[in-house]
């Protein structure tokens, strides 16, 4: 797909409908069609990996470390092997010792620990047996002798002299160090009318998809098939092949349905690696699975960040320069943490227009579960910090927080100091609409006791400009095959539906591009053998990137059909078009033929009717170290307003009502889009007030279950409004942008600012729990009386 | 009383009749077999999901004599003589139940992992209380966790189905 084939914004202005999705130009996109997998999911027919069974299938589990940091002195598996029903027991001796990790910059994980375990939950051995009960019994019979070592549990001390070291290759437990500087921050702050510095602390949060991870490995001769609850069959295939020295063509990874991911299922786990070895040794399919506790221990959730922000503004509140100085608790391994660390600073420039920016970051290793990418990847906590910081500045200057944001809001066709090109941007409109529909002015000036209202802005990439490992593969590709008689068409794509609805919207896009109907579309997705390559569900990339590939494939089908129709109908190709399954003469629409009829004719005369497409983003970003992270063909923007009620006696926070206004480009399926916003707000709200993974002083998780790791219930969710502003992105198919991750970025900031408005005290650490609010109020009363 | 058979290792197994979605199944189960596992493994009714096995998430919800229960908290032997409905039994034939239709129409499904449990909790509510308030709907599904939807459209779907009563 070359750039000049894309529609211009001027052309688009005449073609694109309103935010409500009303559109005369399009037949299939812009409509809230029901999910393609809806019926399967409401009847219980939809199979998830854990629901699959194969003849002779064994069950497998991983034995994990009970210590945060310890040397392995010996492992004795003999008793476990003797247990009837046990088919294989493996340790590091039975698997490749090659290090792996999803970030190629830091491969630091082994399938099983060799010398040392690095956190409570680190992988030591695995068992395959005839049933679950036998597996659990066998795990208890494996004897591991450890020499316990001092553990690093405090990320702020991890870099100090004299601390235990996790990885030899990374002295002072320094996993990633970043120093970026754009413009002249020191000068900007020196010359500013007002400079403010604030400190904020985030927490460890966990994605907590309701479906636990599982993986089933099956060997046929020298070919390995892995069914997995994965967000990216491609990365799984790549890393599994690499680990076992197999050609990628000998590894097939696929998913059936997946019960949520949110970033936690983006990288292969011990379940895939150990399962593949156990299946090979036993010659039988092996199903590996995590229970809820093991999911928390495997983690790869949100990093805890320590964030210092200094900002200089002029008299009117115009931001002149920002310095972000962060430390991030990475846990025991890298996971996606290099990217998380870069994202934390990179995206701070996206919402507000300023020229001078400095970002310092230390991601440190600790003897805790490894952190990775959770919805909004690296951005939500810094965004919480910055939005809170900005409200503090607004208060210092006596400017309304919305007014301050409007004065600094990014505009369309601008470039950030760290070289991100922003083409479409309707942020100002979004802020104004959020202000108006929430009745901001009225609520701000007449505030009942205990009530508060706050705003937070957010933004995110619509797909990462560069893949996770270096490769020149296209980012997305798609094939569409029309059935011989034209009565259905199947879209084959590597894109991954993890619940967000990509199967549905990509079929809408395919039907639109072909001139076909959604009801006749079928899809085979996320299977490395049956479908062509796509990087998968992360960085909110599929609507834009997979969408481009699908559009191109659909247009190829349409072009071939029109060609055939021209011959049959006796018109020039240019005189014809196809829509809603009818090929017609543009000037005389009553002269037409059905899609099916022409498709059948095509098959008879020319063979299979197939279209294909692929997409590679243009070269994006600047030339400095880390310039790639945060680049994207397009950015979404959002404004969220939240109203809270605080019980001043108990500190209890109730989220009363919330309004989200989004600039996410052209909308393909409004119902699914708003549903993404609901879920994103929900997750942000959980992290704002309740969610936190806690540890004891030995590095053991205290709340690795869904009762004590408190996910909000239906009773916690406020009245919620999701609205859009008109927007069109020139770098995207039909002008689309992302929504799923960006919508979680403003939430913690808007709730923080609402609580600040309600009680007049800033809670600067997450979650803003009842206890913290209560303590802050107590402190405030103490100060008032003295 | 269920008939008991003791094997050579001394493990007891109980012969039970389980009524699921109107069909009676005769099964041998251990005393500690969980209903959720018997449904999923022995009867292959995998529409009943497992999210925690601790009674926290509600994804294993089934109806026992019309009342929603977490089937990971029920022993199979306790379910004998009770009428059990799983998600596979909600639409008795090819036609969907109106609550199932409503979930599709209101985009109340994302990953779908919580959906069977949500529909059964919703179904139990509407049977007991055909015209619930929004608060009553929220209360009824508060034991069912959903990580995807923020419950917004699930609440709408249940309320909309109740209006069709
Ligand atoms: S699996 Fe039964 S409540 Fe979670
Ligand atoms: S739809 Fe995914 S958990 Fe509810």
Asked if residue A374 and residue A284 are part of one domain, the reply reads no
How far apart CA A436 and CA B35 sit, in angstroms, is: 52
CA of B43 to the centre of ligand 1 (A): 18
Domains belonging to chain B, first-starting first, are: 3-89 (3.10.20.30), 92-161 (1.10.150.120)
What pLDDT is stored for residue B165 in this prediction? 63
How far apart CA A746 and CA A381 sit, in angstroms, is: 10
Cα B55 → chain centroid: 13
A586 has a pLDDT exceeding 80: yes
* Among B residues 66-125, those touching chain A with beta carbons less than 8 Å apart: 86-88, 90-91, 96, 100, 103-107, 109-116, 119
What pLDDT is stored for residue A751 in this prediction? 98
B92 has a pLDDT exceeding 90: no
Asked if residue A104 and residue A220 are part of one domain, the reply reads yes
Asked if residue A394 and residue A461 are part of one domain, the reply reads yes
Burial, B26: exposed, middle or buried (Cβ in 10 Å; 0-12, 13-18, 19+)?
Answer: exposed
What pLDDT is stored for residue A11 in this prediction? 46
What pLDDT is stored for residue A606 in this prediction? 97
Nearest CA in chain A to B52: A292
What pLDDT is stored for residue A18 in this prediction? 41
Question: What's the Rg (C-alpha) of chain A?
Answer: 27
What confidence tens digit (pLDDT) does each residue in A63-98 have?
A: 999 999 999 999 999 999 999 999 999 999 999 999
Residue A180 resides in a domain = no
Report the DSSP pairing between strands A521-525 and A489-493. Answer: parallel
Among A396, A381, A514, smallest CA distance to A28 is for A514
A16 has a pLDDT exceeding 50: no
What confidence tens digit (pLDDT) does each residue in A631-642 have?
A: 999 999 999 999
Write the CATH number for A573: 3.30.365.10
Residue A4 resides in a domain = no
What confidence tens digit (pLDDT) does each residue in A215-224 have?
A: 999 999 999 9
Asked if residue A578 and residue A456 are part of one domain, the reply reads no
Does residue A55 belong to the interface with chain B, where contact is any CB pair within 8 Å? no
Average pLDDT over residues B68-75: 98
How far apart CA A593 and CA A607 sit, in angstroms, is: 20
Asked if residue A367 and residue A230 are part of one domain, the reply reads no
What pLDDT is stored for residue A22 in this prediction? 43
Q: Hey, of B21, B44, B139, B147, which one would you mutate to test binding to chain A, going by the most A CBs within 10 A of its CB?
A: B147
What confidence tens digit (pLDDT) does each residue in A694-719 have?
A: 999 999 999 999 999 999 999 999 99
Asked if residue A309 and residue A271 are part of one domain, the reply reads no
What pLDDT is stored for residue A2 in this prediction? 39
Does residue A194 belong to the interface with chain B, where contact is any CB pair within 8 Å? no
Final residue belonging to a domain, choices A254, A289, A324 = A289
Q: Which residues of B touch A37 (CB under 8 A)?
A: 109, 112
pLDDT category at A3 given cuts 50, 70, 90 is: very low
* Among B residues 24-63, those touching chain A with beta carbons less than 8 Å apart: 40, 44-54, 56-57, 59
A758 has a pLDDT exceeding 80: yes
What confidence tens digit (pLDDT) does each residue in A176-199 have?
A: 999 999 999 999 999 999 999 999
Asked if residue A587 and residue A503 are part of one domain, the reply reads yes
Phi, psi (deg, nearest 5) at residue A638: -150, 150
**Can you give the three-state secondary structure of A617-676, one letter per residue?**
CCCCCCCCCCCCCCCCCCEEEEEEEEEEEECCCCCCEEEEEEEEEEECECCCCHHHHHHH
Asked if residue A745 and residue A773 are part of one domain, the reply reads yes
Q: Do B90 and A501 touch (CB under 8 A)?
A: no
Residue closest by Cα to atom 3 of ligand 2: B146
A10 has a pLDDT exceeding 60: no
Nearest CA in chain B to A33: B105
Tell me how close the Cα of B75 comes to any Cα of chain A, in angstroms.
16
Q: Which residues of B touch A210 (CB under 8 A)?
A: 49, 51, 57, 59, 111, 113-114, 145-147
Average pLDDT, chain A: 96
Q: Do A679 and B148 touch (CB under 8 A)?
A: yes
What pLDDT is stored for residue A12 in this prediction? 44
**CB of B72 sitting under 6 A from ligand 1:** yes
Asked if residue A537 and residue A446 are part of one domain, the reply reads no
Final residue belonging to a domain, choices A615, A642, A668 = A615
Q: Do A257 and B54 touch (CB under 8 A)?
A: no
First-to-last CA distance in chain A?
Answer: 69
Asked if residue A259 and residue A341 are part of one domain, the reply reads no
**CB of B53 sitting under 6 A from ligand 1:** yes
What pLDDT is stored for residue B93 in this prediction? 87
Cα atoms found within 13 Å of the Cα of residue A724, Cβ hemisphere only:
28
Write the CATH number for A116: 3.90.1170.50
CA of A213 to the centre of ligand 2 (A): 15
Q: Between B96, B113, B150, which is nearest A42 by CB?
A: B96
What pLDDT is stored for residue A7 in this prediction? 43
How far apart CA A321 and CA A355 sit, in angstroms, is: 7
Asked if residue A329 and residue A369 are part of one domain, the reply reads yes
Segments forming the whole domain that contains residue A524: 475-615
Q: What percent of chain A has pLDDT over 90?
A: 96
Asked if residue A448 and residue A397 are part of one domain, the reply reads yes
Of A3-7, A140-144, A358-362, A718-722, give the lowest mean pLDDT range.
A3-7
Q: Which residue has the tokens 């600047």?
A: A622
CA-to-CA separations, A340 to A337, A344, A558, A561, B155, in angstroms, rounded: 5, 6, 41, 46, 35
Q: Where are the beta strands (DSSP E) in A484-570?
A: 489-493, 521-525
Q: How many CB atoms lie within 10 A of CB A697?
A: 8
> How many independent structural domains does chain A possess?
3
CA-to-CA separations, A254 to A37, A207, A340, A524, A537, in angstroms, rounded: 17, 22, 26, 10, 13
Average pLDDT over residues A682-699: 98
Of A108-117, A722-731, B4-13, give the lowest mean pLDDT range.
B4-13
What pLDDT is stored for residue B163 in this prediction? 86
Residue burial A133-142, b: 16+ Cβ < 10 Å; e: rest: ebbebbbebb
Average pLDDT over residues A20-49: 89
Q: Which residues of A touch B96 (CB under 8 A)?
A: 39, 42-43
Phi-psi label, residue B22: left if phi above 0, alpha if psi -120 to 50, beta otherwise: left
What confidence tens digit (pLDDT) does each residue in A463-473 have?
A: 999 999 999 99
Q: Which residues of A touch B111 (CB under 8 A)?
A: 209-211, 257-260, 498-499
Residue closest by Cα to atom 2 of ligand 2: B111
pLDDT category at A1 given cuts 50, 70, 90 is: very low
Greater pLDDT, A25 or A380: A380
Q: Hey, of A33, A210, A677, A683, which one would you mutate to test binding to chain B, going by the most B CBs within 10 A of its CB?
A: A210
| ipTM surpasses 0.95 | yes
Among B16, B60, B58, B55, smallest CA distance to B37 is for B60
Average pLDDT over residues A199-217: 98
Residue A271 resides in a domain = yes
Average pLDDT over residues A30-48: 98
Of A2-16, A284-298, B34-48, B90-104, give the lowest mean pLDDT range.
A2-16
Average pLDDT over residues B120-133: 98
Final residue belonging to a domain, choices A239, A257, A289 = A289
How far apart CA A412 and CA B116 sit, in angstroms, is: 44
Greater pLDDT, A727 or A18: A727
Give pTM, 2 decimals: 0.96
Among B43, B57, B126, smallest CA distance to B86 is for B43
Among B99, B43, B39, smallest CA distance to B70 is for B39
Q: What percent of chain A has pLDDT over 70?
A: 97
């Amino acid at each position: 797909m070359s750039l000049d084939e894309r529609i211009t914004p001027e052309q688009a202005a005449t073609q694109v409908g309103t935010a409500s999705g009303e559109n005369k130009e399009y037949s299939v996109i812009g409509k809230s069609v029901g999910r393609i997998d809806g019926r399967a999911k409401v009847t219980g027919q939809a199979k998830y990996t854990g629901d699959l069974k194969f003849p002779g299938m064994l069950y497998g589990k991983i034995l994990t470390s009970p210590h945060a940091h310890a040397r392995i002195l010996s492992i004795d598996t003999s008793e476990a092997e003797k247990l009837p029903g046990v088919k294989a027991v493996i340790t590091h001796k039975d698997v490749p010792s090659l290090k792996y990790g999803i970030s190629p910059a830091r491969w630091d994980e082994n399938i099983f620990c060799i010398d040392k375990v690095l956190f409570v939950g680190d992988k030591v051995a695995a068992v395959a047996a005839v049933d679950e009960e036998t597996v659990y019994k066998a795990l208890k019979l494996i004897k591991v002798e450890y020499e316990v070592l001092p553990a690093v549990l405090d990320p702020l001390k991890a870099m100090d002299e004299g601390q235990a070291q996790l990885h030899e290759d990374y002295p002072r437990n320094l996993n990633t160090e970043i120093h970026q500087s754009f413009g002249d921050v020191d000068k900007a702050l020196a010359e500013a009318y007002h400079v403010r510095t604030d400190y904020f602390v985030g927490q460890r949060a966990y994605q907590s998809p309701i479906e636990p991870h599982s993986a089933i490995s099956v060997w046929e001769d020298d070919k390995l098939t892995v069914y997995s609850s994965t967000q990216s069959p491609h990365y799984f295939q790549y890393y599994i092949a690499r680990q076992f020295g197999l050609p990628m063509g000998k590894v097939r990874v696929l998913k059936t349905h997946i019960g949520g991911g949110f970033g936690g299922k983006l990288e292969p786990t011990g379940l895939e690696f150990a399962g593949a070895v156990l299946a090979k040794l036993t010659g039988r399919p092996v199903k590996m699975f995590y229970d809820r506790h093991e999911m928390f221990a495997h983690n790869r959730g949100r990093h805890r960040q320590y964030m210092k922000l200094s900002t200089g503004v002029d008299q009117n509140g115009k931001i002149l320069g920002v310095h972000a100085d962060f430390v991030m608790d990475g846990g025991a391994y890298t996971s996606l943490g290099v990217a998380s660390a870069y994202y934390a600073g990179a995206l701070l420039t996206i919402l507000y227009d300023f020229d001078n920016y400095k970002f310092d970051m230390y991601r440190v290793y600790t003897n805790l579960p490894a952190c990775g990418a959770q919805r909004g990847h690296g951005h939500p906590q810094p965004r919480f910090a910055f939005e809170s910081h900005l409200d503090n500045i607004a208060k210092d200057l006596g400017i309304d927080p919305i007014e301050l944001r409007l004065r600094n809001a990014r505009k369309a066709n601008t470039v950030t100091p760290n070289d991100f090109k922003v083409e479409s941007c309707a942020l100002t409109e979004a802020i104004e609409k959020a202000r108006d529909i929430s009745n901001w002015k009225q609520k701000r000036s007449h505030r009942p006791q205990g009530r508060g209202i706050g705003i937070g802005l957010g933004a995110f990439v619509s797909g990462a400009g560069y893949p996770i490992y270096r490769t020149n593969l296209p980012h997305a590709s798609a094939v569409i095959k029309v059935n011989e008689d034209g009565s259905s068409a199947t879209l084959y794509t590597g894109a991954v539906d993890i619940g967000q609805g990509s199967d549905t919207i990509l079929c809408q896009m395919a039907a639109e591009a072909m001139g076909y109907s959604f009801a006749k579309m079928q899809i085979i997705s996320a299977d490395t053998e049956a479908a062509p390559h796509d990087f998968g569900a992360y960085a909110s990339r599929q609507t834009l990137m997979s969408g481009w590939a699908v559009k191109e494939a659909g247009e190829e089908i349409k072009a071939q059909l029109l060609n055939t129709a021209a011959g049959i109908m006796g018109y020039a190709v240019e005189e014809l078009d196809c829509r809603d399954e009818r090929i017609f003469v543009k000037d005389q629409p009553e002269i037409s033929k059905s899609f099916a009829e022409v498709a059948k004719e095509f098959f008879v005369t020319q063979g299979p009717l197939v279209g294909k497409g692929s997409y590679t983003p243009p070269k994006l970003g600047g030339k400095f170290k880390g310039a790639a992270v945060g680049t994207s063909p397009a950015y979404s923007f959002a404004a969220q307003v939240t109203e809270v009620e605080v019980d001043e006696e108990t500190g209890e926070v109730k989220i009363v009502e919330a309004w989200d206004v989004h600039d996410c480009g052209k909308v393909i399926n409004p119902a699914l889009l708003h549903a993404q916003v609901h879920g994103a707000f929900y997750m942000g709200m959980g992290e704002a007030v309740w969610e936190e993974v806690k540890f004891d002083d030995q590095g053991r998780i205290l709340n690795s279950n869904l009762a004590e790791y408190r996910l909000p219930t239906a009773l916690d969710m406020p009245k919620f409004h999701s609205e859009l502003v008109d927007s069109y992105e020139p770098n995207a198919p039909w002008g689309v942008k992302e929504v799923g991750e960006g919508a979680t970025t403003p939430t913690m900031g808007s709730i923080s600012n609402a609580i600040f408005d309600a009680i007049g005290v800033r809670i600067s650490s997450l979650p803003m729990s009842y206890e913290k609010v209560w303590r802050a109020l107590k402190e405030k009363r103490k100060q008032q009386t003295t | 009383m269920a008939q008991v058979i003791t094997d050579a290792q001394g493990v007891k197994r109980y012969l039970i009749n389980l009524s699921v979605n109107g069909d009676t199944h005769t099964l041998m189960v251990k005393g500690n077999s969980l209903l959720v596992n018997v449904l999923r493994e022995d009867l292959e009714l995998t529409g009943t999901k497992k999210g925690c096995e601790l009674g926290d998430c509600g994804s294993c919800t089934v109806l026992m004599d019309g009342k929603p229960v977490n089937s990971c908290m029920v022993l199979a032997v306790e379910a004998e003589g009770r009428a059990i409905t799983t998600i596979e039994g909600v639409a008795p034939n090819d036609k969907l139940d109106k609550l199932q239709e409503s979930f599709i129409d209101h985009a109340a499904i994302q990953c779908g992992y919580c959906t069977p449990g949500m529909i059964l909790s919703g179904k139990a509510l509407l049977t007991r209380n055909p015209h619930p308030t929004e608060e009553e709907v929220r209360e009824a599904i508060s034991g069912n966790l959903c990580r995807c939807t923020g419950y917004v459209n699930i609440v709408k779907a249940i309320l909309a189905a109740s209006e069709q009563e």
